[in-house]
Amino acid sequence: MADVIAEGIPLSLHSDMPMAPAEPLKYMWAAVNRISTSGSGIGPEQRITAEEALKGITLGAAYSIQLEDQIGSIERGKLANFTILEENPLTVDPMALADIGVWETVLEGRVQPAPPGPGGDADETDAQLIIEDPERVLEASLLHVRSMAHHHDH
């Protein structure tokens, strides 16, 4: 992966779901740590940074399916697709990347709590949310997560 980035080739970390599970934090962990399931290193010279891996699961994945003008980053005019994580993947210990909890996912403007609250359904709307003001989208989502955390004693 490091060679791909060094050559300026766009890198995509994604799954071909349903053939493989959609677990982007595990892809990030693998790209950053390059450790096999048995615990041995695999091509440590091909490790990439957490920031490069994050770009691979967001901007790079959107680019690979030719939807970078619609998804992959939080920008005006794009679909409101993003995830709020328990910890910052750019500052957490690289070995802990795959274990970061997901507080909430927003897919096309629809809130998708993860994991779902006990007995509760996700708050959803029928319309796609197109980002007009990226800062307002983030502020609203953070307020929602804070209220969920308070409500569930997290």
* Section 90-102 average pLDDT: 95
Calpha distance 106→79 (Å, rounded): 10
Whether pLDDT at 20 is above 80: no
Beta-carbon contacts of residue 38 (< 8 Å; ≥ 6 apart): none
Integer-rounded Cα radius of gyration of the chain: 17
* Residue, of 141 and 12, whose pLDDT is higher: 12
What sign results for the dihedral spanned by CA atoms 141, 67, 89, 8?
Answer: negative
Whether pLDDT at 124 is above 50: no
Domain boundaries, the chain: 2-151
- Contact by Cβ (8 Å): 58, 73: yes
Model pLDDT, residue 118 = 39
